[in-house]
A and B are shown apart, each in its own frame.
Chain A
Amino acid sequence: MLRLWFDKGTLLLKGEAGTPYGKWDTRVGCYRIKAYHYRDVLEYLAESKLQVEDDVPMLPPLEHLKSNVELRDYQNEALNNWCKARNRGVLVLPTAAGKTFIALKAIQQLKVQTLIVVPTLDLIDQWKKRIKDYLNLEADAVGGGENTLRMVTVTTYDSAYIHAEQLGNKFLLIVFDEVHHLASTGYIQIAEMYTAPYRMGLTATYERSDQRHSLLSQLVGDPVYSVGIEEIAGHLSPYTYEKISVELTPQEQQIYKSQMSIFRSFLQQRKITLKSAADFQKFIMTTGRDPKAREALLARNRAIRVAVNSEAKLNVLAQQLETYKNEKILIFTLYNDLVYSISLRFLIPAITYQTSREERREILANFGNDKYPVVVTSQVLDEGVDVPDASVGLVLGGTGSNREYVQRLGRLLRKKEGKLARLIEIISQETMEVGTSRRRHQKIRGAA
């Protein structure tokens, strides 16, 4: 009789037969198999009429759930496609299209132990609430100080990665929220080290500029459903986009120009052209050993900082806050110090990576229940957290990535009767910000 068990993120098979999925491990004298092949191995052994004692799953107890999730047509179609693909695959839907509900419905139908992997701690809270509201089930969490397992458990990519050796065999369904994160070099091992036979990936932005999303097909499943923003526009808020250019103050202009010229003349001297993200990465690498290159980089950063954090922008921001004082507003910036100067100047609650989890919870709850009409944040709220009636997004700076733009817009698109979402970008004229903004906006139609 063969025996199969879980060993620190892998499977071990002992007995008189091997499998095409494994490799003989001389260190332990067994076949060792990547954990994600769990289902493949069982199927192979069954086909070969080989008996196996399967000691792999160590599942938390099942709990009774009562669901009241109603899916829209396109959500139903997405879920059906996923089921037809043997409960595997990636679903690509625009932000605010209700991806969460598809996953909740899948849990309700399969009724199996489920791990939900999310990018941020705020999203843990949000998922737990949804699970409570729509499945009538308490969920537990691993990460952010919590460390308990239940039938439905929510965790972050970081925790799922760090604890893969312990958590890998505890779930049958694994849901990757914002699955594009999974394709990164480290996180991809989560997909490899967990045994869950059923896998669902959710994202609005499947493609990665580094093309690593192609790895997801094997580990999570192919994209089995994809829908564009136009096709489901009826389910989203209508939105407008507006750009407001401001002039830097004379003093800011002077700093900006002098710092940028340090950077540019360095590039000229060294005959470096920076056309792509890869070029820039290479340049960053050289700054580690070349003090001149580092000085050039720092000058560029100082220039950008001046442009992004411009005083003139804050004046425009004041006008916008007046104009939309009856709306719910999210302010996005690139740098944390701008978050805090806005927070101090306008007495607006701020959320950055430094904000404690309790205070974040409190601020978000108060933002949700209308006590705080405005929240200012850097990049930490780009993903996830939904505040259905937030209607105005003021963008004071960003990285220029299309994904960031789509995500920030997504915060506002949750449908509410009579709501018109506005994304307003405030950029500094005649600076690199103009190009950054253009880049950010380029592919919006295709991706959103």
Chain B
Amino acid sequence: MLPSNLLSVWKRKGEILPRYAKSSSSNDEAANFLIEAYKSHIGEKKKVLKALVAELEDKGYEYRFVRALSLLLDRKSTFVCQCKVDPVDLRRKIFQATEQFGLPTTSENRRKILEIVASKMALAVEDVEEDFYSDLDGELVLEKFSAPSASELLGEYNLGLTQTLLFDATELSFTASGNWQDLFHAIKKFGLIYEVYQDNGLWVKIDGPGSLFKLTRRYGVGIAKLLPIIVANLEWTVRAKVLWRFTNEICDFKLESQKHASLLKKPHLPIVTYDSSIEEDFASKFQALTTGWALKREPEPVTAGKHVIIPDFSLEKAGIKIYLEIVGFWTETYLLRKIEKLKQVEVKMLLLVNEALACEKLSALEKRPQLDLIYYRDKISLAPILRYLETKFDDVKFKEIKLLEGLSIRFTEPVVAFREFADRIGVSAEASRAFLAISPPSGYVALADILVSNEKLLQIGDRIRVAMSQSGKLPLKEAARIIEEEGVDDSANVLTMLGYRIRWRGINSEQAEVSKDPKNFGE
């Protein structure tokens, strides 16, 4: 953000437009000139550096642009007071000396007082002169400077310019591709109020409590602070109403990732942190299991009337999406507000509710068909959640099997993998397995994950019989190679199906052997 007096914007047909510094030879030149100036002035006074900056203004560069760049570079610099003694203390001693000797109105008297102070502090008079106001801003010395590239600097300038423009915003609407949790956290933190609406996606309109009464710039700073969090996303669109500062006329302001992303410095997205250890605990436990459910932290917001809820998690499997919200320890007012919101939710949501909160108001939620509640005490246990997910999934699986049964499917290929089949039809792997394994189509045998045609099995059987005709035995490795050559990868099950058994010698499969199973061959 820049000071308002460095704001460089113009107006066209009711639209307010920042004078963005695009990468051009002249802008790059200005940026590089300044970066080099800072680099080469380490150890020099700030006022010397600023005089150089002023030179750039004299060369015809727009003064606000130059000063803003210089200010951004100041923020990457460390200026220190280089003095032999603490200047505040030095001044105190000098002023005290004048108390004793009177105010010097002649240069001789002045010199005398400085000499007295200097000798007391074991300094030269010149040192005293030098250090007297060495802590004033212009006298500070550049100690460290971490140089950005010209394009970084321009990107920072453009972002800062946009934020400064938004100081005068009365409202802002945006849509973005992610980090909703951060955005809504920030909206709250900055004392703003939002409303959501749909317009080719979810839009959020922001202003403040007092905006109800009149157009006000009061919330401009909060709105400006929100901007970096919006533009940190991959895709975003921003619309704002801005008061033109000279006439108070309302202007439109538009910003979109497609046009402007390359101009603006892209801030880093903050790393997701969990609100509470309960959530973190749940997530890590759940992800340790292979459930087939994809767990997503902070999914997109779910509308609840004019508001949104960003559920803690979403769970997805086989086209089923269930949102999950942990209702931990909350204050009563917060809980009541949450309940009001939850009542308006129109998607499937599982609430994990701390038993201590159980109350009449909460049980009202149980009646909402799209909400399900599971109570927990102290810690969330996974078992009831997994059972719940299982039942949700069973419903789907059952429907899918019905669907498959309704189709007349004919197989021609010798091997059919359940998963591949599931993907082809668009059902879950579980449904496809249940359907194919329970009643395999005629001419096929169901193994663990695949269907194999009888014909194929016989073909494999023949080859193995030939291979073991001499010794009556075959290394497992050899048998597996044959089976794989035939395009089947489940060698163990194929061999069992064909009536062979695998004799293991230790755990090394290199040494395992295949032979006829006397039970099956009746020998």
Contacts and interface: CB of A to CB of B under 8 A. Distances in A.
A259 to B, nearest CB: 16
Contact of B209 (A7, A186, A348, A366): A7
B510 to A, nearest CB: 72
B103 A321 contact: yes
Band of interface residues on A: 35 or more
A347 B216 CA distance: 48
B218 A189 contact: yes
A283 B424 CA distance: 73
Contact of B102 (A25, A325, A359): A325
A318 interface: yes
Contacts of B317: none
A163 to B, nearest CB: 11
B133 interface: yes
A10 interface: yes
Contacts of B155: none
Contacts of B195: 26-27
Interface stretch (A246-254, A368-376, A404-412): A368-376
B137 A8 contact: no
A9 B210 contact: yes
Band of interface residues on B: 35 or more
Interface in B129-146: 132-133, 136-137
B209 A9 contact: yes
Contact of A347 (B98, B193, B194, B246): B98
Given A8-B191, A344-B132, A347-B104, A354 B209 contact: no
A322 B136 contact: no
B410 to A, nearest CB: 59
Contacts, number: 86
A32 B210 CA distance: 9
B216 A189 contact: yes
A345 B114 CA distance: 11
Contacts of A27: 193-195, 212, 306
Contacts of A340: 133, 136
A77 B101 CA distance: 48
Contacts of A288: 8, 64
Contacts of B99: 371-373
Contact of A26 (B8, B88, B136, B306): B306
A325 B98 CA distance: 12
Nearest to B95: A349
Interface string B99-119: 100111110001001100000
A302 to B, nearest CB: 13
B104 A346 contact: yes
A34 B306 CA distance: 23
Contacts of A8: 191, 208-209
B190 to A, nearest CB: 10
Nearest to B62: A291
Contacts of A285: 246
Nearest to A344: B132
A191 to B, nearest CB: 12
Given A7-B209, A10-B209, A345-B110, A371 B96 contact: yes
A346 B102 CA distance: 10
B57 to A, nearest CB: 9
Interface of B: 8, 10, 60, 63-64, 88, 91-92, 94-99, 102-106, 110, 113-114, 132-133, 136-137, 191, 193-195, 208-210, 212-213, 216-218, 246, 306
Closest 7 pairs (CB-CB, A-B): A318-B105, A10-B209, A8-B209, A347-B98, A165-B191, A32-B212, A8-B191
8 contacts: A8-B191, A9-B209, A23-B213, A34-B210, A186-B217, A189-B210, A319-B105, A359-B91
